Amino acid sequence: MKIIQTISGFFRNFLFTPLKRVFKGMGKKEELLKLPAPFVPDEEADSKQYEAHPSGAYMMLKMIFRDIGRYNAVIETLGRDFLTAMPKGAYKSRLGQIGFLHRRKHEELANPQVAAFIEEAHTHEKSNPKDWDDWDHANLREMEIMYRHHCQVDPELIERRARLGYEGRRVHSDVMKNNDWDTARPFLEDMISLTRRIAESKCLRDNEHESESPYQALMREYIPGFRIADIEKIFGQTRTKLDEILPQILEKQAAEKAPLPLKGPFPETQQMWLNKTLLRAIGFDFSRGGLYETGFNPVEGGTPEDTHLVIKAVNQNNFLISMKSTLHEGGHGLYVQGLPRDIWRYQPVGYDMGNAWHESQALMIEMILGRRREFFDYLAPRVEGLFQKFNDPSMTADNLYQLKTRVKKTADRKTADEVTYFYHINLRFELERKLFSGELEVKDLPDAWSAGLEEALGVTPENNMHGCLQDVHWFVGKFGYFPSYSLGHMIAAQVYTVMRKDIQNIPELLSEGNLIPVRDWLNHKVHKTGRLNRPGALMEEITGAPLSPGPLLAHLEERYLHNA
């Protein structure tokens, strides 16, 4: 496989700063971690994770990162259980357990011994290039990136944040019941203050080159390979073009007949059957994962062997809501299940490309493909049968397609259409940067939110519940995540330009309810490459060009102005 080792200037500087300057305590022998002896389970002896390598330091690193990966996997299982099975009374102690595991994981990673091994492995890599294949190179590179990202953070902050993040899930769910700003405000203040302390210790210690803002350091966790300035440029171009075509789309749709609303009820059992059946149609493997309902917000995650797609408990009045969420999480699920972890298991090179790429896989299924007219040709007659609505005019392919492609300026991100969605993301991207630069305080957030939404879409949220409280992200500490959605949308559209050349019968496949060839293509191009490439290099490898908003804007024009 050809590898484009495109490392941006930023990353070159980052990687080439000596580790001794990155980790202050490094090399104090008395602090060295007591190393785990590598116990190799028989059935995995021939995986790349356990394959013998002439660099002893690299072998030790593989074992250390295996164990870090195991902590991650356990945390994922506890997280699924938290949302779907845990008795209420276990809430407090579970917070303690999750925080504790995060701390132990962090302690095993952010350890000077790890830095010493990385330096030693690099020395071996330089003097014995033949011993290192592309995957091993990439694995060591990702180990170093992961180490540098975490090494300066105080374990206590890690533990506190893990607890607070899970508390935030419940606080959010509570404040949304009563539009309860008075509870939300101090919680968000605490969360931002804690997250800022973490961000400050994540800022790169690299005084010779550019110095990093706390927000950039946070974004690095979710969207590796992207810089604030790059995103500002891309989002600016997108905004300009959307400001031009959105009025045209609205005008065009105003001239058309409005779609009929759905007539419920759509019973839960049938909805969940439909959702699971659609997941099988896109190629999700239920022997290695499952679909769950929760009282909390949707989440996806886990490991390729235990992939959980958790959606909000179904709404009996509208099956399209849980279906949308299922297709979205299903796209994530294909990515998780397709990672090269049968051979690389817990190694960093076997992980995904970060959240922009992850969202691209979700939005490819949910929006790019799942809102094509042909999919509704497949879906409509079948849901007419499933829900016993023969000849209901709201259940035609045409009407369902119109319902899913109707564009409307609203205050709500989650139910927003494919066109106005960007404005919601852009608003959050602006506000969270201000929250971290100190330009905006939490107490002023509701006003800033309303003003921003008014400026962007000309609408005002009814109240905070429909405004700055609507998303769970900030409550769980995910600052720097939001740009992933729009970047993911752009990545999906750009990747799709190649996919539709490679798979010429996509419309037919959709009308037959068969997305297996699509899954296989995505697996080949994206999923199974793990972190072999850096995110930018992957885009160039697949499409021959760097990421640009052009394909997404062309896609929106095509679908919403030219009805193609």
Please give the residue ranges that form the binding site for a copy of itself (CB under 8 A): 30-31, 33-34, 36-37, 39, 41, 43-44, 67, 70, 73-74, 77-78, 81, 84-90, 92-97, 99-101, 103-104, 107, 155-156, 159-160, 163, 285-290, 303, 305-306, 345
Q: What is the DSSP letter of 366?
A: I
In the complex, the smallest distance separating the C-beta of residue 143 from a copy of itself, rounded to whole angstroms, is 19
**Comparison of 113 and 486: residue with beta carbon closer to a copy of itself:** 113
Residue found under tokens 């769980």: 476
Sheet bearing 306-312, strands edge to edge = 289-294, 306-312, 299-303
Position 37, amino acid: A
In the complex, the smallest distance separating the C-beta of residue 115 from a copy of itself, rounded to whole angstroms, is 16
State whether the Cα torsion 548-552-554-555 is positive or negative: positive
**Comparison of 43 and 182: residue with beta carbon closer to a copy of itself:** 43
In the complex, the smallest distance separating the C-beta of residue 38 from a copy of itself, rounded to whole angstroms, is 10
**Comparison of 63 and 553: residue with beta carbon closer to a copy of itself:** 63
In the complex, the smallest distance separating the C-beta of residue 341 from a copy of itself, rounded to whole angstroms, is 9
**Comparison of 114 and 246: residue with beta carbon closer to a copy of itself:** 114
Residue 484 CA: distances (Å) to CA of 16, 71, 114, 326:
27, 25, 30, 19
**Comparison of 31 and 512: residue with beta carbon closer to a copy of itself:** 31
In the complex, the smallest distance separating the C-beta of residue 306 from a copy of itself, rounded to whole angstroms, is 4
Contact, 192 vs 468, CB < 8 A?
no
**Comparison of 107 and 133: residue with beta carbon closer to a copy of itself:** 107
Could you give the count of Cα atoms lying within 13 Å of 456 in the half-sphere of its Cβ?
A: 32
Alpha carbons 184 and 223: distance in angstroms, whole number: 27
Residue found under tokens 């209420």: 88
Could you give the count of Cα atoms lying within 13 Å of 187 in the half-sphere of its Cβ?
A: 25
List beta partners, residue 299. 310
Position 546, amino acid: P
Q: What is the DSSP letter of 367?
A: I
Alpha carbons 57 and 132: distance in angstroms, whole number: 13
Tokens of 550: 């052009």
In the complex, the smallest distance separating the C-beta of residue 40 from a copy of itself, rounded to whole angstroms, is 10
**Comparison of 293 and 377: residue with beta carbon closer to a copy of itself:** 293
Left (φ > 0), alpha (ψ -120 to 50) or beta: where does 477 sit? left
In the complex, the smallest distance separating the C-beta of residue 74 from a copy of itself, rounded to whole angstroms, is 5
Between strands 306-312 and 299-303, the pairing is: antiparallel
In the complex, the smallest distance separating the C-beta of residue 285 from a copy of itself, rounded to whole angstroms, is 7
Contact, 469 vs 176, CB < 8 A?
yes
R_g (Cα) of the chain, nearest Å:
24
Residues 6+ apart with CB under 8 A from 412: 466, 470
**Comparison of 94 and 122: residue with beta carbon closer to a copy of itself:** 94
**Comparison of 109 and 553: residue with beta carbon closer to a copy of itself:** 109
**Comparison of 141 and 163: residue with beta carbon closer to a copy of itself:** 163
**Comparison of 163 and 555: residue with beta carbon closer to a copy of itself:** 163
In this structure, which long-range contacts are made by residues 67-72, counting pairs with CB atoms below 8 Å and at least 24 apart in sequence?
67/36, 67/108, 67/346, 68/105, 68/108, 68/109, 68/346, 69/345, 69/346, 69/347, 70/346, 71/101, 71/102, 71/104, 71/105, 71/108, 72/105, 72/346
In the complex, the smallest distance separating the C-beta of residue 289 from a copy of itself, rounded to whole angstroms, is 6
In the complex, the smallest distance separating the C-beta of residue 104 from a copy of itself, rounded to whole angstroms, is 7
Tokens of 68: 């870090």
In the complex, the smallest distance separating the C-beta of residue 25 from a copy of itself, rounded to whole angstroms, is 12
**Comparison of 99 and 452: residue with beta carbon closer to a copy of itself:** 99
For the chain, counts of helices (H) and of strands (E): 23, 3
In the complex, the smallest distance separating the C-beta of residue 57 from a copy of itself, rounded to whole angstroms, is 21
